[in-house]
Amino acid sequence: LAACPNCRLIGPAASDLDYRAGWRWLRAWYTEIGRMGLRPPDVAAIHTYLGEPPNLIVDSLFHMLNTFPNAPKTAWVTEFASAEPSQAAKMIAYYEGEERIEHFFWFPPRNPAGWGWEPLALVGSNGNLTPVGEVYRGWANAAQDAYPAPVGEIYSGQSNAALDAYP
């Protein structure tokens, strides 16, 4: 950080497992960096694969962060997914409209061989968009129409144009 004092520091990405445990790990992490006098991150980060409304984990995260001085006021959702297209649409709409969420990234974009993530993947092992991939493509296309800059890049670094290649 000394070499880049203006760089934005992204916090560790705690999972929904830590959320369910009352943010035990993340709370200890923020306590320790405070004890050591270290700079807190500029942005928090979380992963979530919960089937519940996304505002619950986001509200809980910021409720916990607000107990620390200089804690981040915004977050990145560094991994999220749902096997249910309707839940995927709700999550995307929520993250898109929530001012405390700066960026959100779908994971996994593809189903790595043998991982069993086909229902969560945007692109199935057959090379076609999955039902949740269709939801994501619809959002990404609408977002690109609304914003001049590229948005909604998926975890693998592919742009939305890569999703448009699928009929």
pLDDT digits (tens, 9 = 90+) for 24-54: 999 999 999 999 999 899 999 999 888 788 9
List the 43-48 sheet strands across, edge first: 10-14, 43-48, 75-80, 101-106
So what's the pLDDT on residue 142?
66
Beta bridge partners of 79: 47
In the prediction, which pLDDT does 28 show? Answer: 96
Predicted confidence (pLDDT) per residue in 105-164, tens digit: 988 888 766 677 778 888 888 888 889 989 988 887 665 554 444 444 443 344 444 444
Residue 75's pLDDT band, with cuts at 50, 70 and 90, is very high
Q: Are 13 and 47 in contact (CB under 8 A)?
A: yes
CB atoms within 10 A of CB 131: 15
- Residues 84-107 pLDDT 10s: 999 999 999 999 999 999 999 988
Measured between alpha carbons, how far is 63 from 65 in angstroms, rounded to an integer? 6
pTM, two decimal places: 0.80
